[in-house]
Amino acid sequence: MAAADDAEGDRLAELNDYIRRQMPAEPAQSSQWLALESSPEVLNAFGSRIGLPEGWEFVDVVALEEECLEWVPRPVAAVILLFPCTRRIYEARRAQHQALRSGRLSSREDLFFVKQVEDFGNACGTIACLHAIGNCRHVAEMAEGALLETFVREHSDATPEERGRDLLKAEALKGSSDAAATHPAAQTACPARDGPALDHHFAAFVLTPGGRLVELDGTRLAP
């Protein structure tokens, strides 16, 4: 596998290829997280377990026309986007990677950013939720002792890679994510834990304390 920071490659493509190459693991040995469905019910089931404050929820954005956006409750603190992993997407990401590497696009704010390391499997939806909720604490304050609040505080000085490695071992957060993935409100069958790459990816967009809209994607070099 190429290095994560290789400008010729793409971390998202590498992770999808990594998942495809893995032999199915025994359930007791698997460290991969179940994939979350792109639905408000499933995302809210996860959020409520990890510290999403009362009065806040995920809702559908059915279209980007102005009249459709008026249906979205206000205020809006973050958006989670699901998109297909196509050739054109990878081409655009490679160009953006070079800009991030040079520092031209990277955010200068102190944000909670987690790298999606290999053994997560199809966990990009979980990481997008963590990025969305974990970086909205200036407007949606989590309760003291909430699972995500505790993880954010304990890893305030860690690197994104260290956060990703430690998140793999955070059984309470993994259990909350898996419970949401198999929630009765899900409209599709939950993919197998060690199933193939799904060729779709989640990213979060957050309005930061500095008033900027920043993309957080665990397969990126930086926010």
Residue 148 neighbours by CB under 8 Å, 6+ apart: 50, 51, 130, 133, 134, 142, 173
For the chain, the residue count is 223
Angle, nearest 10°, between helix axes 171-181 and 40-50?
A: 160
What is the torsional sign of CA 131, 61, 123, 217? negative
CB-CB contact of 100 with 12 (8 Å):
no
Active-site annotation holds for 97: no
Residue 175 neighbours by CB under 8 Å, 6+ apart: none
Active-site annotation holds for 201: yes
CB-CB contact of 32 with 193 (8 Å):
yes
Helix, coil or strand: residue 29? coil
Among 97, 131, 155, 201, the one annotated catalytic? 201
Angle, nearest 10°, between helix axes 147-154 and 40-50?
A: 60
Among 124, 131, 136, 155, the one annotated catalytic? 124
Catalytic residues: 124, 201
